[in-house]
């Protein structure tokens, strides 16, 4: 019985992997068996500005709530090469993973894809007379950074994210 269960589990896993590959070969989301957290479920975290200001470190508040950009090459996570998950510093939602991080030499942590596509919210941003695409946390609406179309394969995207908007959690794999 135990053997049968193990075989069934292996078959189920194989079928899931193949199915995911067939549906979209460019889908770079983390396979379910490696997923450290559940997909964003649509819940919202809403707090007053004074609550955010009190709860967040100053730089995280300025980035997440006032959409400021940290100076290039100053954020510690820009250089982080440990394996793990990058969470929203405002609410803890898992946003990015080491498997999608790369060195863009821009001075900010850069990713070619989010951990799960539903875990980022993209909106047009025409501030500074430039049309860009802003990256927000879908749960707390925290400003994370911007996404550009000059990234590497397979997506061609560069999620340029403020280190101060993220919290890193190492994951044993």
Contacting positions for Zn ion (CB under 5 A): 88, 90-91, 93, 137, 139-140, 142
- Which residues on neighbouring strands pair with residue 85, listed in sequence order? 97, 169
- Per-residue CA distances from 29 to 52, 117, 125 (Å): 30, 8, 26
Q: In the bound complex, what is the minimum distance in angstroms from residue 89's beta carbon to Zn ion?
A: 8
Shorter beta-carbon distance to Zn ion: residue 3 or 48: 48
- Per-residue CA distances from 115 to 7, 38, 74 (Å): 29, 11, 24
Asked if 113 contacts 102 with a C-beta cutoff of 8 angstroms, the reply is no
From the candidates 88, 137, 140, 160, give the one annotated as an active-site residue: 160
Shorter beta-carbon distance to Zn ion: residue 20 or 68: 68
Q: In the bound complex, what is the minimum distance in angstroms from residue 73's beta carbon to Zn ion?
A: 24
Shorter beta-carbon distance to Zn ion: residue 63 or 160: 63
- C-alpha–C-alpha distance, residues 71 and 81, integer Å: 20
Q: In the bound complex, what is the minimum distance in angstroms from residue 36's beta carbon to Zn ion?
A: 16
Active site residue 137: no
> Active-site residue numbers?
160
């Amino acid at each position: 019985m135990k053997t049968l269960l193990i075989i069934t589990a292996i078959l189920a896993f194989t079928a899931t992997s193949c199915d995911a590959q067939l549906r979209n070969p460019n889908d770079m989301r983390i396979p379910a068996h490696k997923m450290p957290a559940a997909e964003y479920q649509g819940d919202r975290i809403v707090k007053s500005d004074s609550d955010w200001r009190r709860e967040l470190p100053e730089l995280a508040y300025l980035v997440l709530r006032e959409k400021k950009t940290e100076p290039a090459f100053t954020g510690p996570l820009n250089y982080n090469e440990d394996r793990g998950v990058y969470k929203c510093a405002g609410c803890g939602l898992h946003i990015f993973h080491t498997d999608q991080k790369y060195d863009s030499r821009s001075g900010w942590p850069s990713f070619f894809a989010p951990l799960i596509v539903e875990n980022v919210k993209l909106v047009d941003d025409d501030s500074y007379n430039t049309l860009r695409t802003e990256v927000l946390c879908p749960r707390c609406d925290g400003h994370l950074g911007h996404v550009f179309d000059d990234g590497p394969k397979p997506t061609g995207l560069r999620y340029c994210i403020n280190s101060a908007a993220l919290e890193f959690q190492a994951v044993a794999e």
